[in-house]
Structure formats: structure tokens, C-alpha cells
Structure 1
Amino acid sequence: MAMFFSLMFTTVVISLFLFQTVSSSIDFIGSSQSIKDGTTLVSKEEMFEFGFFSLGNSKNRYVGIWYKKIPVQTVVWVANRCNPINDSSGLLTVNSNGSFVLTSQNKSVVWFANSSKQAKKPIAQLLDTGNLVLREEGDINSENYLWQSFDYPSDTTLPGMKSGWDSSRGLNRRLTAWKNWDDPCPGDLSSGFEDERGIYPEVYYMKGTTTYFRTGPWNGIGFSGSPDKRPSQLFDNHILYNVNEFYYTYNIKNKSVISIIVLNQTKSVCQRLIWMEGDQSWRSYISIPKDNCDYYGHCGANANCMISDAVGCQCLKGFKPKSPLKWDLRDWSEGCVRSNQLNCPKEKEKDEDGFLKLDGIKMPDTRNTWFNDGMNLQECRVKCLNNCSCVAYSNRNISGEGKGCWIWFGNLMDIRQVPDNGQKLYIRLPASELATEEDRKLRAIIVVAVLGSLSGMILVGFYVCRKTMRGKNYERTPENRTKVDDFELSLFSLATISTATDNFTVKNKLGEGGFGPVYRGILEDGQEIAVKRLSLSSQQGLNEFKNEVKLIAKLQHRNLIRLLGCCIHGEEKLLVYEYMPNKSLNSFVFGQAQSKLLQWPQRFQIICGIVRGLQYLHHDSRLRIVHRDLKTSNILLDNEMNPKISDFGLARTFVGDQTAGNTNRVVGTYGYMAPEYAFRGQFSTKSDVFSFGIMVLEIVSGKKNISFQDENNTGLTLIGHAWTLVKEGRPFELVDVHLKDLDVNLHEVLRCIHVGLLCVQQRLVDRPNMSSVGLMLGSDNELPKPKPPGYFMETDSQERDHSSSKPDSFSKNTMTMTMVMDR
């Protein structure tokens, strides 16, 4: 009897110890042990917690995993998603054969999970990755886990979690969104790979059986629907596909960063969120869909969706609207059909079909395709030509020199504009469509020129083209000048320019931009010139050339570059400018040696000069002009370090009271574009103001916004870094290290940082105009407090969701600014 009571006492002590330690940060339990409501498992580093919880005002109890270190309730996995317990009687047990069993008060089974094989001595452990695993005691090899929550995701993807197929184990790891913020039961929204064979290496977001969004196929570098192929400073992305597995996973380079991917039923279907410790909130790093072009099939078949404020669609070359009337009414759902039928099988008297290269797009839906990873691109072309059903082909993998063949059949679905995505699609067209392409371009140029002349706008580019087509070679003489209003423009011969630049020798090359290379030259009269030469591979073309000639010929200001003349000879298109001996601001601000030479008075003088130039463009010139490509490399410096704004190839003009415009072709430079322009194609003088704000912060800090990386590797952009420093009362930490040991005007520095942040505010209506900027920099008046900037992180979405039970991506504006006056 004594032994019996002793044994009972020991059992009670062990049970009490168990539940005491479970509530004291124990991370595992063994066979036949349980977790009851009110006790939890906590991972070793106390990152995650596992146990019972409720959502919002509901009394329903669920079992799941959440972040322990984050005060905002962030649930990342739920076991009994659709079968909650309505009281606190829940009990989760690990039984002897290695299975989870969740029971309620009446001992009925609420949820269970079986191990993949018979267990000998199973234990359940919560890892610091957020993965709940069943494993054999003593075996920590992840390949031998009996069961793991990572294989059965809810609505959240954590770093290291695989999304995709494992056919050998019969797994299909898909995300399914909660019905709403207080109900984790799966709604109709899901995401994942469609095919376990790896034929379709792209993620599809489905609402029920309807495709809602897709990423575009994986091409060896990234998903073709993603415009940014630069290596991320925060994430390592990886895709594996072989006979047995096909999955996507990501890891975070900086372990101090907390980031998740969440699928939800709200407007932002999927968000990558980052926890901001300073704000104690989640911030959206990227979200989809980001615009109307992201919605699957927005433009129907065989059409390209173009980014703009009111999204428009364009039929692919060789296609026309299936329903022109609906198309005119902006109903693009029926898409486009061929204008002329393909010549297949080939008729003797007709030319063979050909292909039109199309780049800067998201690849079409791959669910109706064929592929061969052993073929090269030329073999792929032949394969397509020999199959009358083939309508397009491309490389399957574009890494390195490219490899693999992909051919499409039927309609080309869900194409959208994605500049610089690195992949090219070759669309099959009848020879008749391809043969007249150059003729059509030429006719289009002539029509534009004639229309322009009718409206009183003489296009100098067309004038030069017309002279060139007559076979004449014009020299820079008084007789060979064309007059635009009251401004005379010289027409140079190719021989003159070639002699001046020593036949475009490398030693005379000053640099290269989107237009092409720029060369230094000396004319026979000793005048130094800078010659911009349009590259044959340039993304800009004759329209940009004519645009720059037309605009600069009409503009005269000491802070704008002066155009001396131009030349077109065959394929050569040249612009001749005054020579700037100190080259671009870019080389001074970011060059290690030259940055030391650019002291604060010169930097402030340059900022003020840029302001004057922009004020002239936006307010004081005969035309209201939006530059659209402002950046430090387009600010040139004369021998007295006076700034001159250059490169007007992408500029647009406004007339009358017009203050904004939209475009289907977003052009410019990554890192300087205003959010409304990059995402919606909306440009205005305020989009130039945003670019100016970026330049101001770059001039002050000596760091590039496009490649900025702070010491803690948080993923903040230069804008986000500046905002954070000012908000924390440490604005002078932003100042270039080359200035900190010098005598600088602290009042001017701080005022420039403040004005820079005002210029990069998210909403364009909050940004000042350039006239106001000039007044702010030239006075001591109190400045308004800036609101949160755009592009706070590497990629920042304008769509933000918030809730009590899931991450809130808003942060409060609690910023203050203290002015430091000169002594």
C-alpha cells in the first residue's frame, strides 16, 4: 500500500512538473504527454509559441502557432481551422505511435495528424523556424521527420517553408486564405503550383476554380511577371524541380529581419510583410495584385496590358480586337484575333511565316504549352515552324546564355507590360505582317511630323530625316541652319562629328545612358562639344531623339544643357551639346575620390541650381515640361560647378491648364520614379519633385538610393533610412562621411533633408511644387512635417491591410524635426 501511494505521488509530481514546464518555455513533449488549454510550447529562442488561442471577440478556441516576440497577434498556422472548440476543455496529445490527437470536453476528436511511418519513441517539438515537428527522440535530421506543420501550411509562408509538390510523399503544399480575419477556415482563395510534374513552373492564385493572378513562369532567374531581377538584399529565393519535387522557398539573409508571406481574402490577395520593430507594426514589402494588369486575363487573349492610371490594352502586333465596339468602350474581355491567317501549311506562292521578337512582357500562361529542356533557341524556332499549331516560342531558362525550348499553342493569355524582365517571346506572324513593318514605321513618322507642323510645332528631327533621305550631307554652315521659333539649330554632317570625336574613339567616351554613349569632341574652330550617339540597341529611338531636339531647341536657361545641333545619317542619330568639363553630378557624389572634393557649399549651390532649372521647366518656360528621368547622372556640371539639367528624350509637355498626364509606357530609371508613375503611369510636375527629393537625399548622404544598404541590413531604402533617422532624432547620421569633419552649415543640411523628405512623400498632393521648394531652401520659415515617404522598403506597396488578428501594415506618423541654427 505504501508503494502504491508513493507511485501515485510520483505520478502527480511528474504531471505537475510537466504542465509547469510547458508554461515555462519548454519546446517539446514526449509520447503520451499532452498540452491543455492555457499551456504552451515555446521554441528555444522564444521566437514562436504553440498552443490554444482565440481570435478577435470570438470565444472559439483554436490550436496553432504564433509569433511570441511580436506584440501584435500574428498567427502563422492553425490545426483545427474549421472545427473550433467552444470552451477551454481542449487537450492535444502525442500518442505512442507518433500522431497528434486534439480532443474536446466530450473526448470527441477535433483534429488529428498521422505520422508518415510507425514511431518508436516520438516527441513533438516547436522549432525556431515556426515548424512544429514530430520526430524520433534523438534524431534531428529534418529528412526523417515523422510529420511537420510546414507540409500543411495555412495562409502563411515562413522562411524555409516549401511551397509546391512532393509526388513521392503525395504532398501538395498550397496556401489557403482565411474566410475572414476572425475565421481561419479556408475561403475560396488559394495559391500554389498547378502541376506536380513541374511543367508549369509558376504560381497560380485561384478563387475557386477561376484563375485570379499568376506570377508568370520561373525562367531560371525569377518569375517573368516580376520586373525586378536584381538580387534582393533581404531574401534568397530558390526553386527546385526534379522527378519527385517541385517547390519554391525563400530564406532571409539577415536573421534579425522578420518577414512572412500572407494570403488573404481582402483586396491585396497576397502580401510579403516585414516587422518594423521601431513602429511595432507590420509593413507591406510587396503586395499583389498591384494594379489592374495583374488580374488574370484583364485584356483577354493575344493582348498586352499596359500600365497607366486607367489601365488600357493593346492588341499584339498582327492582331486586332475581336469586338471593336466593346474595345472602344474599354471592354477588353474578348481580347484580340489575328488580322491575317498564318501560312501553314506553307503555300508555294507565299512566303514562310516569321517571328516578331517581343520583350519587356510577362510570359503568356504556360498551361497550354510544350517544352524540351535539351533544345537551344534556334532548334526551338524550327520546332515551332514545323508545327502549324505553334503560335510562339521562347527559352525556358534565361540564366547564362539561355537554354531549353518552350512553345505555345492556341491563344496567348495574360500578357502584361513588365520592363526589363530579361526574357524574350517570339510571336509567329505571317510574312505579310513582318515585311511592311519598317514601311509602317516610316509612314508613322511622317504622319506625326505633318500633324506636328499643322499645330505649329516644327519637328526638327523630321526636317533632318527629310534632308537625309534626299541623300544630302549637311555641314554646320549659316545656310544649313533650321529655325525653331527664335532659336537657330545647326545641322552637322556625320563627317564633321566623326572628325571631332576622332571617329568615336574609346578614349573620348564620356559615359553611356539609356540613349547610348556620349563622346567628347573638338570642332575645327576649337569649340568643345559633347556628342550623344543613339545606340542601335538603345531602348530609346527616333521619337525620343525628335522629342529631345524639339524641346531643348525651345528652352534657354543657365541651369539647362544647351543643344548646339544634331545629325541623322542613315542609322546614325546624333545630338551635339555644349561640353561640360566636370561631367555629371553622379561621378562627384558617389565617386570615392571626387566626393571628397565636393564640399557642402558646392553641394548646396548645386541643389539650388537644380531647383531653378526645374522651376523654369515647370512654371516659367513657354511650355510646361515634365522631365520624367531626373537623376544625378542627368545633372551635368560646368567648369564652375554650376548644374545643368540634361537628357530630355523622355520629357513630356503640358499645354494650357494641364498639370498631369498618363502613359501606357512607363520609362525612366528605377530608384527615381515616383510611385504613381511607376505603378500607374501617371506623371506630373510632382513626379519630377519626387525624383528631385531622391537627388537631394543622395547629395546629402553620398549614397545611391537604388543600391542603398544600411549597416543593419534592414532592407530600408535611402528614403526609409532618412525617414527613420529623422524620426529618431538622428538626422545628421545621414550626412556623407566626407563632410562630417568639415565646417558645414548644419542649418542648411537639416533643411535640405527636411525638404527632401517633403518631396518624396507617398501622395503627390502632399509634395510641394518647385516654386515652394525654392522658397523653403531660401528662407528660415517653419516647414510642414513630412508624411511617410513612398518606397520605404526595397519594394513598397501602396496597398495596406490591417486587422486585430492579422498583421497591421500601417505605422503612425510621429515624426518631429528640430531645427539647428548656425552659431
Structure 2
Amino acid sequence: MTNKKTALQFFCCVLLIITTAAADTITSGRPLRDGETVVSAAGIYELGFFDGGDSASRFVGIWYKKISTRTIVWVANRNSPLNDTSGVLMINENGNLVLVGGANNRTIWSSNSSRILENPVAWLSDGGNLVIKDEKGNFAWQSFDHPGNTLLPGMKLGRNLVNGLDWSISAWKTADDPSPGEYRASLDINGYPQLFVNKGSVLQYSSGPWDGMAFTGSPVLKPDTYFTFKLVITSDEVYYTYEVKNTSLPTRAVIIPTGVVQHLTWIERTQIWSVYLTAQLDNCDRYGLCGPYASCSINNSPPCDCLRGFQPKFPAQWNGADWSSGCERRAPLVCGEKDGFREFSGIKMPDSRHSWYDKNIDLKECKKRCLENCSCTAYSNLDVTDGSGCLLYFSELMDLRELSQNEQTLYVRVAASEVDADRNQKKRRLMRIIIGPTVIGTLLICLFCWCASKRRTKRGLVDDKDMELPLFDLATVSSATKNFSAKNMIGEGGFGPVYKGKLASGQEIAVKRLSKHSVQGVQELKAEVNLISKLQHRNLVKLLGCCIEGEEGILVYEFMPNNSLDHFIFDPSRKAELGWQKRFEIVMGISRGLLYLHQDSRLRIIHRDLKASNILLDNNFLPKISDFGLARIVGLDQNEGKTKRVVGTYGYMSPEYAIDGEFSVKSDVFSLGVLILELVSGRKNRTFRNSDHLHNLLGHAWILWKEGRAMEIMDESLEEESCVKSQVLRCIQVGLLCVQKLPGDRPNMASVVFMLGNEDVHLAEPREPGFFVERGSTESGRVTENAETLTILEAR
């Protein structure tokens, strides 16, 4: 009896070992049927069947096993879904992995491997790769060679030069339908390699060439503590890949249905995919927007400008905002030693399809070779880490844009006369430096001593060691505002009253004076000074200086003659002054300013109080984000934070911030969504009322959208014939996407700017907004969100 029991235990152990060993494989005797799954050894990835957007469509795919939100990273039968649950994934007699099902068990999909192995199995690795291999480790096929819309760590984007295998990713048709969509991301290997995003056959985006650390159009790709990025060029293959240093961090690069390429990381605490970086940042990333020999700057209006030494090829078209023909040289090239080169830095390197490169020659030899070839238009080095290598361009320079973080220098071929002009300018500059060094030095010493003296007497509210701005005398500010006259007061916020003033020089200023009774105080003043003094963007208000004497805390800004946005859109007598085109430009300007704060500035800043009264308008109605008293700096590798002190403005705060004190870049996106809907409707979210229901502006807009009546929300003061209907609808849809209840559902600012600026981009359907039902009066400060009552602390 004992022997039988021991034998039975041994048999069970063996069976358990065999079953465990087979859990990550499909064999000829163990196929995978619909309803079953295969799990990788460490339980990271899972292979099985899932529903597409149409519940009748069934696909075979790989997804993350331990992530609560099912995230598909690879699909076998993208082009041929099953229409029932009869599917079976199996190894056939030829050693291929095949999907059979439907009538007569027809073959739906096959790996189509030409290599025959003995006793092959399909094995799912912990890296997410599905491999057909034998017991000796030989393999005949792998899913990594056939990407879908996702690039996992270790996967390649490029081409195998031996067998012609092309590694590229293509977007899903929609968020729920894995069928191939219109957009495709690939590595173009003509000339020096660069990443392309195409819509069909039309090039939409180029990353620029690799500079040794990153693609020059994506400087955020530089090596960091989380990832390593590589471009590999050998005689057998050319590809781009990345690896994650912490293998426990789920991460993926994906091209979404709108054509945007995003790098995402899973945040376990919040249970959302967070956008680590985005390839397409803004309108300047539209391929060739400014044409040849022109550079795009998102901070300029218009954004296109010819390179120095070049002029518009067709001035009439250029002045009419058609920049596609670009620019041409002012002085023609002679060819040979008489030509020269002009240096351009802080830019994205041009399209390198028509280029030649050599990793083994230096910049001096590179210049020589360019001069010797009359077709050479520019040159640069290849690797910014050590200045090595040579890259020669042999066509018009296309797709340039300003990128202050890029360290690579482009040497553009110009006529000798242009080089002489540069030399003369340098001589004149040198003479100016030589003429008055003593006088200038003396003045600087005197100025330093005076400033030091003033600072010693101005220790009041804040330690001015932290200040990086000019200090104004209280007497100067008082005189400029006529002793803070009530007639000069132009507004009042949580910080205190704001006055219009004029300096002795004639410059108009806006003076914000800290009130003794303000809910904000020293901390907010200090935050605003330290934050905004480091920021430079045309859509952010410019802080000119501050005044700190005794108990006085004063901020001095550039004056905005058109007051704030709420001054117009919520005033029946003024709202007509803001036509649709102006409103759309204001939406774009605010979005670009917010993108700068979240992603493009040297600090990552969450504003936390974005609202209509904090958007100031200059004399051309250019919007500028103001009031950084509640803003927070987070690390460049950080997107969120938490506070016990929830302060902000009722009607603009996101649910997660108001309820749990969790603020993030996505809470700013929520506020922007409210602003967009207010701009379109001319109605204030906080005070919106409708006799048919209790919804606020967000809920009202969402209901109209679901019913196909979204245009009914448009401000009655807008003339319908002057509006671009598709543009209005796009703004409403983007606004609703921004105010979705869950932060993970909201787009990031790079996506918002891209969606607003590109009419042909397909947008996702918005889900239910947060805080879309109101109960009771606004004075109570109480709102309900899906029957959950909460109280919001309002600091304005």
C-alpha cells in the first residue's frame, strides 16, 4: 500500500512538472483553443483569444498578464478576424503555427515559415516574443519580426538587409479594432537612417537623423536612468531599438490610431499608462511645413522663417501663409573653394534621405569633401558625444525646426559674399567689445555695488537670494500706479489687487500687490517668482521684476491691454469681439503654452489653476498664461504629485485633485478642456444652467455630443457662416476628451496640440466627463459626481 501511495505521489509530481513546463508553449499535441491561454514562465505575458471592436470578431494576441487594463501588444490575425469562437492555434505538420476555425476549419492565419524543425514548439518568452523553436534552441519564426502597433524592449525598427525583412509598426484602425489603420512608423534607411511616420504613402513626420544619442527631432530620447536607445548599422541589418534598465517596469512604444507615436510606462500606483515621451510635439513636426531652407519655430507667429542668407522663393505665396515652396539663396553659389559655410545650431537636422556618411573622418575632412562636390548643400558631424564622423547633404534642406536642446551644428553652404558679411559683422562686434571695456567694467561694478546695497535693505517677506529678477523700488512702483490709486486697479484675485501703471520710461506695466488678507501668501509669491522667472514662451506672461520692502510683496508684469479672457467670453456686450478664428487661435496658444510647461521647458510644471481669468490677452489677442502662485515643479521623470492642501478654482479642478489631492499634468489637461468648452460656448462651467436637466456645461456638452447635436453648444454671438464647422466640432471633441473622468483617458498636451492642429487626424470618442452633474446652489461649494458628494475648498 505504501509503495502504491509513493508511486502515485511521484506520478503526480512528474505530471505537475510536465504541465508547468508546457504552460508557456504550444505543441503539435497541445494546441490553444479559444478560451484557453498560454502564459510566459514568469507570468509577464499571456497569449490567447480576445474580442475586437466588433464583439463578433475574434483575434489571437499577446497582452500583459499582470496589468489590470488589458493591453494588447501583438496580434496574429489583424487582417483576418474570426467571426466565432471556433478558433484553434496549433502547430501543423509543416512546423508552422496556424490559426484555423470557421467553416471547414479553414486556415485563417499562418506563420509561413520556410524552415522546417524537428518537433517544433511555439514558446512565449518573458519578453513578449512568440517563438517557433526546437529543443536544441534553433528557431524558425518569431513574432518580434512581425510587429503590430507596438514596439517592446528588444524589438527592432528597421530592415534586415540579408532576407529583406522589414520591421515597422502600424496603427490600429481604431482604439478597439486591431485591423491595420492608415498610419505606419518605420526606419527609413535611404541615406543616413531616420524614423518616419506615413499616412498611406504621404510622409507626415520625420525624426531627423541619429546624432549618436538620439534622433535630432527627439532630443528627449537622450539616455537616462530608465532606458537605453540604440541605432545599429551593420552589413546585415539597420535598426533602431531600446532596452529598459529596470526589467520590472512595463513599457512600450506604440503608434496610436491618430498617427502619434508615444512611449508609455505603466504606473502601478495609479493603474494607468503614463506617456513618457511623444514623438510629434506640435505643428512644427508636420513634415516640410516650411519648405526647403526654412526653419519652423512654434514660438513664432507665423512659425516659418527663412534661414539666414536665404529669402522666400515666392514672396506672395509666403506672405499668404503658403510656405511649401520654402526659401532660396540670396546670393548664388559659385562652386568650389569660393563658397563658404554658415553655422546653425539649436535646430533639428534636415531630412537625410539624400545624404552620405562616413564614421571615420573628422569635421575638417568633411568640410573639404563638401566643397569638392558642387551638389553638397551642407555637412555636420555624426556623433555629438565625441564630435566624430561626417554627414554630407546632397539636396535642398528640408524639415528644419528650432530645438534649443539639440547640440549638433549644421554647416550650410552659402556664397562667399555671405561669409564675408559674417566676417565683417564679427569685426564690428569685436571693435565694440574692445572700445569700452573699462567704462563698461566700471559701470558693472557700480551697478553690482548698488544692487548689493539695495538687497541688504530689502530683506522683508522673502530672502532675495532666491530671486532671479530685477528688484523695483517701492517708490518707483508707487509712482507708476499713482500711489496704488483705486482708479488704476484693473482686477483682483486670490493674490491681491492688480494695478495698471506706467514707468518713467513710458513702459506700461501690471502690478500685482500681495494683500494682507490674501489666501495666498509668501509661499505663493515666492513660487511665482521662482517659477516664472525661469520660463520663456510667447504664450506665458512675462514677469519683469518684483518689489520686496518691509511688508510689501509686489510682482511687476508686462501689461496686457486686452485684460483677461473672461473679460470677453462671459460678457454679453464684449463676447462678439472674439470671433471664431480668434477663439481658435486662443485655444491653440493656451495649449502650446501648457505643452511648454509640461514637456518643453527645462522644468516640468503643473499650473494647478488654469482658468479664463488667468489667461491674459495682448493687443493682438495673443493669449498668455498667468498666475503661477499655485504651480508646482515636478521632476522631468515625474508627471504627478499629491497634496493635503487642495486649493484651486471651482469648475476647473479635476475630480482626482478635488477629491484626493492628486494633481498631475492630466489635471491641467482637465482644466484646459473646461476652458475650450467655455470658449466655444461663451458660457461659464460654474454657473451654467439648463431648464431641461441638472448637468453643468461639461455634462450638457457631452449629452449633445452623444446625440449628434454638438453644434448647439456654440456661442450664439458667433456667426455660423464665419465658423469652420469641422474646426468647432474638433474643439468640442478635444475639450470632451480632456475632461474625461479618469486621468488615464485624457490625452497629454502633445496629443492635444497635434489633434487641434491636424484636421485629418481621427479622434477617439470621448467618455463620461468628471463632475458633470450639479446638485444644489453654487454658493454651497458642493458638487456631486455620479452620486458621490464632495466639498471643494475654493481659494478664488
In 2, distance between residues paired with 1:72 and 1:808?
A: 18
Q: Which position in structure 1 is the counterpart of 2:294?
A: 303
Q: Summarize deviations over 1:779-809 as a string: whole Å, max 9, x none.
A: xxxxxxx98999x9999754699xxx99999
Indicate conservation of the 8 Å contact 1:303/1:336, yes or no: yes
In 2, distance between residues paired with 1:110 and 1:556?
A: 80
Q: Structure 1 residues 473, 183: closer, same or farther in 2, change over 3 A?
A: closer
Indicate conservation of the 8 Å contact 2:350/2:400, yes or no: yes
Q: Which position in structure 2 is the counterpart of 1:134?
A: 132
Answer yes or no: is 1:272 the counterpart of 2:263: yes
Q: Structure 1 residues 472, 354: closer, same or farther in 2, change over 3 A?
A: closer
Task: Write the letter of the residue equivalent to 1:607.
Answer: E
Among 56, 62, 66, the residue aligned to 2:63: 66
Taking every aligned residue pair, what percent have the same amino acid on both sides? Answer: 33
Q: Which position in structure 2 is the counterpart of 1:179?
A: 173
Q: Summarize deviations over 1:633-664 as a string: whole Å, max 9, x none.
A: x99999x9998979xxxx85534548789799
Q: Which position in structure 1 is the counterpart of 2:141?
A: 147
Among 667, 671, 692, the residue aligned to 2:603: 671
Answer yes or no: is 1:421 the counterpart of 2:415: no
Q: Structure 1 residues 37, 757: closer, same or farther in 2, change over 3 A?
A: closer
Deviation (angstroms), 1:32: 4.0
Q: Summarize deviations over 1:69-116 as a string: whole Å, max 9, x none.
A: 334342221112212222222222113553212222413222211446
In 2, distance between residues paired with 1:382 and 1:303?
A: 25
Answer yes or no: is 1:237 the counterpart of 2:252: no
Q: Structure 1 residues 641, 216: closer, same or farther in 2, change over 3 A?
A: farther
Indicate conservation of the 8 Å contact 1:281/1:808, yes or no: no
Q: Summarize deviations over 1:722-773 as a string: whole Å, max 9, x none.
A: 36x889xxxxxxxxxxxxxxxxxxxxxx99x899999966646979xxxxxx
Q: Which position in structure 2 is the counterpart of 1:489?
A: none
Task: Write the letter of the residue equivalent to 2:132.
Answer: L
In 1, distance between residues paired with 2:72 and 2:452?
A: 73
Mind listing any 5+ residue stretches in structure 1 that lack a counterpart? 1-12, 347-351, 446-464, 475-491, 501-519, 531-547, 561-602, 617-623, 677-681, 699-704, 708-714, 728-749, 768-785
Question: How does 1:76-87 map onto structure 2 within 5 Å?
Answer: 76-87=73-84
Answer yes or no: is 1:168 the counterpart of 2:153: no
Answer yes or no: is 1:315 the counterpart of 2:315: no
Task: Write the letter of the residue equivalent to 2:169.
Answer: L
Q: Structure 1 residues 67, 636: closer, same or farther in 2, change over 3 A?
A: farther
Alpha-carbon RMSD: 5.5
Stretch moving more, 117-126 or 296-305: 117-126
Q: Which position in structure 1 is the counterpart of 2:485?
A: none
Deviation (angstroms), 1:294: 0.8
In 2, distance between residues paired with 1:393 and 1:80?
A: 45
In 1, distance between residues paired with 2:555 and 2:222?
A: 28
Q: Which position in structure 2 is the counterpart of 1:110?
A: 108
Indicate conservation of the 8 Å contact 1:273/1:284, yes or no: yes
Indicate conservation of the 8 Å contact 2:230/2:240, yes or no: yes
In 1, distance between residues paired with 2:87 and 2:104?
A: 10
Task: Write the letter of the residue equivalent to 2:403.
Answer: V
Answer yes or no: is 1:433 the counterpart of 2:418: yes
In 2, distance between residues paired with 1:321 and 1:672?
A: 37
In 2, distance between residues paired with 1:419 and 1:61?
A: 48
Q: Which position in structure 1 is the counterpart of 2:200?
A: 208
Among 35, 38, 55, the residue aligned to 1:38: 35
Among 646, 654, 660, the residue aligned to 2:560: 654
In 2, distance between residues paired with 1:806 and 1:49?
A: 27
Aligned residue for 2:642, secondary structure, equals helix
In 2, distance between residues paired with 1:337 and 1:625?
A: 31
In 2, distance between residues paired with 1:521 and 1:292?
A: 43
Task: Write the letter of the residue equivalent to 1:248.
Answer: Y
Deviation (angstroms), 1:178: 2.5
Structure 1-normalised TM-score? 0.60
Question: How does 1:272-351 map onto structure 2 within 5 Å?
Answer: 272-308=263-299, 312-345=303-336
Answer yes or no: is 1:120 the counterpart of 2:118: yes
Among 494, 503, 511, the residue aligned to 2:440: 494
In 2, distance between residues paired with 1:81 and 1:255?
A: 28
Task: Write the letter of the residue equivalent to 1:38.
Answer: G
In 2, distance between residues paired with 1:55 and 1:404?
A: 48
Indicate conservation of the 8 Å contact 2:187/2:193, yes or no: yes
Task: Write the letter of the residue equivalent to 1:670.
Answer: R
Q: Structure 1 residues 345, 683: closer, same or farther in 2, change over 3 A?
A: farther
In 2, distance between residues paired with 1:69 and 1:756?
A: 25
Answer yes or no: is 1:100 the counterpart of 2:86: no
Indicate conservation of the 8 Å contact 1:757/1:789, yes or no: no
Q: Which position in structure 2 is the counterpart of 1:191?
A: 185
Deviation (angstroms), 1:342: 0.8
Indicate conservation of the 8 Å contact 1:285/1:795, yes or no: no
Mind listing any 5+ residue stretches in structure 2 that lack a counterpart? 1-10, 457-468, 481-519, 566-585, 609-614, 647-657, 676-737, 756-762, 772-784
Q: Summarize deviations over 1:559-588 as a string: whole Å, max 9, x none.
A: x9xxxxxxxxxxxxxxxxxxxxxxxxxxxx
Aligned residue for 1:436, secondary structure, equals helix
In 2, distance between residues paired with 1:758 and 1:93?
A: 44
Question: How does 1:507-518 map onto structure 2 within 5 Å?
Answer: none
Q: Summarize deviations over 1:486-514 as a string: whole Å, max 9, x none.
A: xxxxxx933525777xxxxxxxxxxxxxx
Q: Which position in structure 1 is the counterpart of 2:342?
A: 356
Structure 2-normalised TM-score? 0.62
Task: Write the letter of the residue equivalent to 1:372.
Answer: D
Q: Summarize deviations over 1:236-277 as a string: whole Å, max 9, x none.
A: 2222222222222223334443322222332x4322233344
In 1, distance between residues paired with 2:65 and 2:396?
A: 49
Answer yes or no: is 1:406 the counterpart of 2:388: no
Q: Structure 1 residues 393, 625: closer, same or farther in 2, change over 3 A?
A: closer
Answer yes or no: is 1:384 the counterpart of 2:370: yes
Indicate conservation of the 8 Å contact 2:541/2:616, yes or no: no
Q: Structure 1 residues 229, 100: closer, same or farther in 2, change over 3 A?
A: closer
Deviation (angstroms), 1:213: 0.7
In 2, distance between residues paired with 1:173 and 1:249?
A: 11
Task: Write the letter of the residue equivalent to 1:58.
Answer: S
Stretch moving more, 604-613 or 319-328: 604-613
Question: How does 1:511-590 map onto structure 2 within 5 Å?
Answer: 522=449, 556-557=476-477
Indicate conservation of the 8 Å contact 1:229/1:421, yes or no: no
Q: Summarize deviations over 1:288-315 as a string: whole Å, max 9, x none.
A: 4332111111111111111048652111
Among 24, 28, 53, the residue aligned to 1:27: 24
In 2, distance between residues paired with 1:613 and 1:41?
A: 54
Deviation (angstroms), 1:53: 2.1
Stretch moving more, 322-331 or 654-663: 654-663
In 2, distance between residues paired with 1:265 and 1:304?
A: 28
Deviation (angstroms), 1:169: 4.3
Indicate conservation of the 8 Å contact 1:360/1:421, yes or no: yes
Among 212, 215, 224, the residue aligned to 1:220: 212
Aligned residue for 1:57, secondary structure, equals coil
Stretch moving more, 206-215 or 60-69: 60-69
Aligned residue for 1:607, secondary structure, equals helix
Q: Structure 1 residues 613, 35: closer, same or farther in 2, change over 3 A?
A: closer
Provide the aligned length of Structure 1 versus Structure 2: 594
Indicate conservation of the 8 Å contact 1:369/1:408, yes or no: yes
Indicate conservation of the 8 Å contact 2:641/2:664, yes or no: no
Q: Which position in structure 2 is the counterpart of 1:621?
A: none
Task: Write the letter of the residue equivalent to 1:273.
Answer: L
Stretch moving more, 113-122 or 128-137: 113-122
Q: Summarize deviations over 1:321-345 as a string: whole Å, max 9, x none.
A: 1221111111111111222201224
Q: Structure 1 residues 146, 675: closer, same or farther in 2, change over 3 A?
A: farther
In 1, distance between residues paired with 2:767 and 2:235?
A: 40
